[in-house]
Chains A and B, each alone.
Chain A
Amino acid sequence: MPHSRRAVITGCGMLTPIGSDAATIWDALTQGRSGIARISAFDPSALPCHIAGEIRDFNARKHLDNKVEYEKTIGKSLKLMARTIQLGLIAAKYAMRDAGLQRGSYEPTRFGIVFGSSMIAIEVNDIVAASQAATAAGDGSVDLLRWGDTGIETIEPTWMLKFLPNMAACHISVMYDLQGPSNSITQDDIASLNALGEAYRHIARGQADAFLVGGADSKISLLSMARHQLFLPLSRRNDDPAGACRPFDRDRDGMVLGEGATVLAVEEYESARKRGARILGEIVGFASTFDAKRDGSGLARAIRLALAEAGVAPDELNHVNAHGLGVIDLDRREAQAIRQALGPAADHVPVFAAKSLVGNMGPAAGVTELAFDLLAWQQGHLPPTVNCRWPDPECPVVVHTEGLRPIRKPYVLKIAFTDLGQSVAVVLRRNDS
């Protein structure tokens, strides 16, 4: 279906384990400098997996300018925000700055937000006193009467607001007066690409002229980390953090968690052009599907649908930006999907996977990895995928592993999926094509 209204990306803000500005991130991507290391936020010794992609020096307050009234105001609310939400807020600030958008320079009712999110775990230190009250009998029992009598009152009145998954979108909309549609997609690894697709559809049908689209995540808190270590297939390569996440490599042994946020400014093409915005890329295809058989056929269908919407043949793709978790069966599923959808073109369209450097950033992963494509386009080169040293013959794709590869073709395909089968594909066109 042809759209009269086109959606372009005009700005990008990133907070990642390999840097929070374009130059540092590009340097890490080209040098293969990993952001994955032993966890420093707490002692991980008691966990099976000790490593993650952390943002070590993140302090939201330092990113806010007290001379700017609305930044000063939001700064007073930081205690209401879990780390995930703070990361999202600050990435939004840099996206707005990168896009050259200031409060007052746009019509607030025509500017919306769609954010990628997931369950944000509570911070256990917020409920220590209440937990001590509930277990005061000392016999191992948890007593709700005691919790009610003396526990509840020890909890901060605004406690619940710190962890609501829609609060990143909420605080960002308050900070920038975004009164258009507001949504929070809560599907973890596919959330931010589904969010991008939804914003793209909104702009096409004319419901808004601009959106902030992003995702934020930190599972590096005590409860979240404990929970996810129980059920995620995490790498056990604790002695080799930089080599732990190995997308499509035959020696891969699991994923590594990462934290961070990326926010994109997405605008309707004509209005972006009129205000003289720098255009980083255009969204030209999107599809969301379900892979019921969990064999990649559903993901392949998403890829074909997105390419068809874009009117792009597999040969026109410069590369595929993969989900690439480094998980044995999931990488195989993904590679087979790419092969199935691209056909013979899969022999020469290279695959790029960024998680080996930053880990799996969950709801932030899709847009962060897509933002790496925007950098690659600006620089004119595709960086290598690290740790794919011995390509797995059961992953029938060509992973780009060595050196900088000149960008030759105008389109890129970005994909993501969940273990259950939710699949998403986005096709982007380079700005100058």
Chain B
Amino acid sequence: MNKNRRRVVITGMGAITPLGHSVSTLYEAQINGRSGVDFIRHFDARRFPTTFAAEVKEFDLARFLPDGERYRHCGVNTRFALAAAQQALDDANAHRGIDRTRFGIYLGNGEGQNEFDHLIRAVAIAAGGSPEVDAGRFFQAALRDFNPKREYELEMYTTSGRLAERFELLGPNFSCLTACAASSQAIGEAVELIRHGDADLMLAGGAHSMIHPFGVTGFNRLTALSTRNDAPQKASRPFDLHRDGFVLGEGSGMVVLEELEHARRRGAPIYAEITGYGSTADAYRTTDSPPDGHGAIAAIRWALQDSGLTPEEIGYVNAHGTSTEVNDRVETLAIRETFGPHAYRVAVSSNKSMMGHLIAAAGVVELIISVMTIRRGVIPPTINYETPDPNCDLDYVPNTAREKRVHHVLSNSFGFGGQNVSLIVSRFVE
């Protein structure tokens, strides 16, 4: 670790999640072991292989931005992001008195959603009874029925553009999508931009929703989702022997990252410090993790090295813990491999047991929960943990939150396609 490098602290946080529309309601639900999973209401999913998800309930952008109506054409990911960003910037008191050219944005962001009915109708009309679509008929239907403003706002670059425009973030502007690792990667890279001096502040985080007919169809075809339709709230059961897939969540999390001296000078609240970041690829397969966990192991080691910490100093591992057979087994292996004997002493839990998998937004929301754990001294449990899996033999903080003073948290995020990101967040000390 380079002792002379610029230190990066968190000075603001915001969250729109299946467990509430603020950081405090999210964290309260987490430490109370409350599930945010229920039958899908966004669309009629009764005959889908999976009928449930962790949805964001009763979201109204106008409660966060008085002119929220302006963003009606935006994808729901962008609207979640605007609300979470507004909270984070309020929290950091970062609306005024800051050189905006030194304030950038880095998102791990999903896509907007195609209008399902219009698209399906256009395809059906254009195919007629044949197995292939006729181009001319498809174009006619699409040009007639698709809404140009809405189609524009589905484009992935528009989210970081809309946020930069709204909050006057004139510094570096990045957005990535590395599946389930995206918002953790965004935070890690935003930290690096501040360390290097490209910016003094970065709004970093992510937003995503795949709880729509195409998203559920796609994940169902991959057999990645739990199909425990008779007990949705029991479906997300990371590390449990009877886990059968992940549960889709949705939402957004945002943090304000700030160079330490800058935060001090303006008297900003300092919630925690990002001390470690590691990013690697499995280079193995598109959806599978390699059985030896080499990519995850390398990411964890790298984050530890970046922070200058030993595994023994990590008090809590905020796991990726998706509730899929492979992830939970390989992640456990990676923690054992990197932590040695301390693997059996460190608390490991998965926030996804309660809020599902927020895909691109998962990493940042889990990082926010990690920060709250450091500040409040209560580790959220892994709920639905009933039957131990011999391959998953660590302390998963089963079912009940645990009071413990934690100084350093390792937060893992591993994406489809083999991207692995580990972040370490630490209690701030001078």
Interface of A toward B, CB cutoff 8 Å: 1, 42-47, 77, 80, 108-109, 112-113, 117-119, 122, 124-125, 127-132, 134-135, 140, 142, 144-149, 152, 155-161, 164-167, 169-171, 173-174, 176-191, 194, 198, 201, 204-205, 207, 222-223, 225-227, 229-231, 287-290, 292, 298, 301, 418, 420-423
B430 within 8 A of A: no
B270 within 8 A of A: no
Q: A119-B154, A174-B284 are in contact. List 15 more A-B contacts (CB 8 A).
A: A127-B120, A132-B124, A132-B129, A152-B49, A158-B222, A160-B221, A187-B175, A222-B135, A222-B139, A223-B119, A223-B142, A226-B138, A290-B173, A420-B157, A420-B165
Interface of chain B residues 129 through 146 with chain A (CB within 8 A): 129-133, 135-140, 142-143, 146
Interface of chain B residues 203 through 239 with chain A (CB within 8 A): 213-214, 217-223
A422: contacting residue among B46, B121, B173, B218, CB under 8 A:
B173
Whether B170 lies near A290 (C-beta < 8 A) is yes
- A-B pairs with beta carbons under 8 Å apart, 22 shown: A43-B136, A47-B139, A47-B143, A112-B281, A113-B281, A124-B126, A130-B217, A131-B121, A140-B121, A152-B49, A152-B221, A160-B218, A177-B283, A179-B281, A185-B176, A187-B160, A188-B156, A205-B196, A288-B172, A289-B101, A290-B171, A292-B164
Which of B164, B174, B221 has the most C-beta atoms of chain A within 10 angstroms of its own C-beta? B174
B417: contacting residue among A131, A164, A180, A290, CB under 8 A:
A164
Query: Nearest Cβ distance between residue B42 and chain A, in whole angstroms?
Result: 11
Identify which of B13-21, B109-117, B241-249, B382-390 touches chain A.
B109-117
A141, B176: Cα distance in complex, Å: 36
Asked whether A132 and B281 contact (CB < 8 A) given A159-B221, A190-B157, A290-B170, the answer is no
Give every chain A residue within 8 A of B219 (Cβ-Cβ): 160
Whether A230 lies near B151 (C-beta < 8 A) is yes
A181, B111: Cα distance in complex, Å: 23
Give every chain B residue within 8 A of A77 (Cβ-Cβ): 286
Give every chain A residue within 8 A of B22 (Cβ-Cβ): none
The 10 tightest CB contacts between A and B, nearest first, are A148-B47, A160-B218, A420-B161, A170-B417, A182-B281, A226-B142, A46-B139, A42-B135, A231-B152, A230-B148
Asked whether A288 and B174 contact (CB < 8 A) given A47-B139, A158-B221, A179-B295, the answer is yes
Give every chain A residue within 8 A of B174 (Cβ-Cβ): 185, 187, 194, 198, 288
Which of A145, A164, A190 has the most C-beta atoms of chain B within 10 angstroms of its own C-beta? A164
> Nearest residue in B to A183 (C-beta to C-beta)?
B176
A179: contacting residue among B101, B130, B280, CB under 8 A:
B280
A192, B325: Cα distance in complex, Å: 35
A222, B119: Cα distance in complex, Å: 11
Give every chain B residue within 8 A of A184 (Cβ-Cβ): 176-178
Give every chain A residue within 8 A of B43 (Cβ-Cβ): 144
Whether A131 lies near B123 (C-beta < 8 A) is yes
Asked whether A125 and B132 contact (CB < 8 A) given A135-B120, A173-B281, A422-B157, the answer is yes
A148, B46: Cα distance in complex, Å: 8
Which of A144, A205, A418 has the most C-beta atoms of chain B within 10 angstroms of its own C-beta? A144
B418 within 8 A of A: yes
Whether A201 lies near B196 (C-beta < 8 A) is yes
Whether A148 lies near B45 (C-beta < 8 A) is yes
Asked whether A118 and B156 contact (CB < 8 A) given A80-B286, A173-B418, A288-B172, the answer is yes
A122, B213: Cα distance in complex, Å: 14
B143: contacting residue among A42, A186, A187, A226, CB under 8 A:
A226
A182, B213: Cα distance in complex, Å: 29
Query: Nearest Cβ distance between residue A49 and chain B, in whole angstroms?
Result: 11
Query: Nearest Cβ distance between residue B105 and chain A, in whole angstroms?
Result: 8
Whether A128 lies near B132 (C-beta < 8 A) is yes
B169 within 8 A of A: yes
A222, B136: Cα distance in complex, Å: 10
Give every chain B residue within 8 A of A134 (Cβ-Cβ): 120, 124
Asked whether A170 and B164 contact (CB < 8 A) given A109-B280, A178-B283, A289-B171, the answer is no
Query: Nearest Cβ distance between residue B163 and chain A, in whole angstroms?
Result: 10
Give every chain B residue within 8 A of A183 (Cβ-Cβ): 176, 178, 185, 189, 279, 419
> Nearest residue in A to B153 (C-beta to C-beta)?
A231
Give every chain B residue within 8 A of A140 (Cβ-Cβ): 121
Whether A144 lies near B192 (C-beta < 8 A) is no
Give every chain B residue within 8 A of A288 (Cβ-Cβ): 104, 171-174, 198
Asked whether A229 and B143 contact (CB < 8 A) given A185-B176, A190-B157, the answer is yes
A328, B186: Cα distance in complex, Å: 34
> Nearest residue in A to B156 (C-beta to C-beta)?
A186
Give every chain A residue within 8 A of B47 (Cβ-Cβ): 144-149
Give every chain B residue within 8 A of A185 (Cβ-Cβ): 174-176
Give every chain B residue within 8 A of A301 (Cβ-Cβ): 101, 170
> Nearest residue in A to B157 (C-beta to C-beta)?
A187
Whether B155 lies near A119 (C-beta < 8 A) is yes
Give every chain A residue within 8 A of B308 (Cβ-Cβ): none
Give every chain B residue within 8 A of A164 (Cβ-Cβ): 177, 179, 416-417
A52, B163: Cα distance in complex, Å: 32
Whether B146 lies near A230 (C-beta < 8 A) is yes
A142, B44: Cα distance in complex, Å: 11
B258 within 8 A of A: no
Give every chain A residue within 8 A of B310 (Cβ-Cβ): none
Asked whether A128 and B120 contact (CB < 8 A) given A164-B416, A180-B280, A187-B174, the answer is no
Give every chain A residue within 8 A of B259 (Cβ-Cβ): none
Whether A45 lies near B136 (C-beta < 8 A) is yes
A176, B214: Cα distance in complex, Å: 31
Query: Nearest Cβ distance between residue B65 and chain A, in whole angstroms?
Result: 17
Give every chain A residue within 8 A of B140 (Cβ-Cβ): 46
Give every chain A residue within 8 A of B223 (Cβ-Cβ): 157
Give every chain B residue within 8 A of A229 (Cβ-Cβ): 139, 143
A300, B192: Cα distance in complex, Å: 24
